Amino acid sequence: MGGGFSRNMKVTIIGASVSGLFLAYLLAKEGVEVEIFEKEENAHGSLRTLIVTSKIYEAMEFIPEESILNKIKHLELSSRSQTLRLELKDPDLVIERGRLLSLLAHLAEEAGAKILFRHRFEGFAQFGKKTLVSLRNLKINEPIKVSTDVLVGADGALSTVGRFASLDGHPLVTLLQARVTLPQSMSADTTQIWFRPDQTKYFYWLIPESDRTAAVGLIANDSRQAEACLTEFLQSKDLEPFEFQSALVPMHRFRYGGDVLSEERNVFAVGDAAAQVKVTTVGGVVTGLHGARALTDAILNGRNYPKALRKLKIELNLHLLIRQILNRFSGEDYDQLIGMIHGRLKETLEEWNRDELTQSFLRLIWTEPRLIKLGAKALLKSFL
Ligand SMILES: Cc1cc2nc3c(=O)[nH]c(=O)nc-3n(C[C@H](O)[C@H](O)[C@H](O)COP(=O)(O)OP(=O)(O)OC[C@H]3O[C@@H](n4cnc5c(N)ncnc54)[C@H](O)[C@@H]3O)c2cc1C
């Protein structure tokens, strides 16, 4: 963006989910004309139980009370032979995505943004500084064209805006989770994580939504692997699923240039559409909100979007570095890792959360230098 925001500038956003709605809210409250087009019927989205760190308060600058289902005070990590219980200084929040979207839609509309549901993005063309956006009104199955100054793809993992700009798309993973009754033996304030590298490079989780229900899931390379592993895991824990939630999530890459999608620098991507996802845990809510803040800064103040994203990118790159090491971990490595976590290292992990890796990374290594050795050993083993 050059020159910054002018009073009669118009911003068109594709996708009324977390990143798109938050961006619309931030821009509209500063007086920018904003229109959001969403192909679905409403802003509730498909059901999804999300867990986020308390950093969501910092990203949003308010507490989304209406969407909070539960607060998590403990994290229990298990490998083949080790178990570790961490007490989180700032509890994680379990959020119902539909409620968060309704809240954000309400805020965006109240600030003056216009949301048009049942409108699907189909393409764009650029005429100098203007962009002509092609959409389909799905209610009457008619094409429409909208002229805009700035176009933003907030249209998720399979971003059509990104693909239309000839990007090759992001590597994707499948996230599958089942809702189950919380077993009496498990506590409603504790998230459980199981590392089983022979089944998934990531981990299995159980996130209590309340003292009655929980979400149990995993991340896998494809949906078939996800289904087979989750079915077996649920059986092994004697858990009966009553609902499934699933979708593709994009993976952040080093030196990815898909945030700015046009030479004119007035077509952008944000959130999952720009793969603003922490690939250690495949969480994209807080990072998508930060992406929306960076883009707002770029649009309003004429800043360069990649520069405004620099802090977020450093954080995402650190997560990617750790993920690349963890991808090579065996069951034995996880046993060693969990066995190492006590004393000062445990305190550091309890104090810092996964949305502030930039601040905690060096401290973790400083506190326990054997972490470097363990990581290096895993990398070396994979090369051999
Ligand atoms: C089951 C599941 C559990 C998850 N759990 C967590 C978690 O615990 N913590 C966490 O941080 N993250 C989690 N994630 C990831 C998180 O949900 C995403 O990172 C986040 O929702 C991304 O938001 P977004 O607004 O960028 O994109 P999305 O939520 O994907 O929204 C994209 C929007 O664009 C619309 N759209 C798409 N194409 C078009 C088009 N052509 N025209 C018009 N509209 C279009 C879609 O309908 C959708 O509304 C989870 C994901 C899944 C699938």
Write the pLDDT tens digit of every residue in 23-39. 999 999 999 999 999 99
Regarding the beta carbon of 93 and ligand 1, being less than 6 Å apart is answered: no
**Average pLDDT of the segment spanning 46-71:** 91
Query: Nearest C-alpha to atom 5 of ligand 1 is from which residue?
Result: 50
Answer for the pair 175, 181: CB distance below 8 angstroms, yes or no. Answer: no
* 39: its two tokens: 């192909």
3-state SS, residue 356? coil
Regarding the beta carbon of 284 and ligand 1, being less than 6 Å apart is answered: yes
What number of other Cβ atoms are within 10 A of residue 139's Cβ?
A: 11
How remote is the CA of residue 50 from the centroid of ligand 1, in Å?
A: 11
CA-CA distances (angstroms) from residue 151 to 252, 266, 294, 335, 354?
A: 22, 6, 15, 48, 31
Ligand 1 test: best mutation among 282, 295, 319, most atoms within 8 Å of CB? 282
* Whether pTM exceeds 0.85: yes
Instruction: Compute the CA torsion angle 219, 224, 229, 234 (nearest 10 deg).
Output: 100
Query: Nearest C-alpha to atom 53 of ligand 1 is from which residue?
Result: 247
Q: What is the pLDDT of residues 318-366, one digit of tens each?
A: 889 888 888 888 999 999 989 988 888 888 888 887 777 777 777 777 7
Strand partners, 126: 131
Mean pLDDT for all residues in the chain: 90
**Average pLDDT of the segment spanning 77-104:** 94
Q: Which residues contact 307 (CB under 8 A, 6 or more apart)?
A: none
How remote is the CA of residue 158 from the centroid of ligand 1, in Å?
A: 10
Predicted confidence band at 262 (pLDDT cuts at 50, 70, 90)?
confident
How remote is the CA of residue 24 from the centroid of ligand 1, in Å?
A: 16
Of 378, 288, 360, the C-alpha closest to 318 is 360
Answer for the pair 50, 247: CB distance below 8 angstroms, yes or no. Answer: no
Regarding the beta carbon of 14 and ligand 1, being less than 6 Å apart is answered: yes
Domain range list for the chain: 10-46+98-170+251-319, 68-96+172-250, 325-383
Q: What pLDDT is recorded for position 71?
A: 96
Q: Strand 83-96 relative to strand 114-116: parallel, antiparallel, unpaired?
A: unpaired
Superfamily of domain 68-96+172-250: D-Amino Acid Oxidase, subunit A, domain 2 (3.30.9.10)
Instruction: Compute the CA torsion angle 42, 47, 51, 52 (nearest 10 deg).
Output: -10
The domain 10-46+98-170+251-319 is placed in CATH, from the list 3.50.50.60, 3.40.640.10, 3.40.50.280, 3.30.930.10, at 3.50.50.60
Q: What pLDDT is recorded for position 3?
A: 53
Of the segments 37-51, 130-144, 157-171, 338-352, which one has the largest average pLDDT value? 130-144
Q: What pLDDT is recorded for position 382?
A: 57
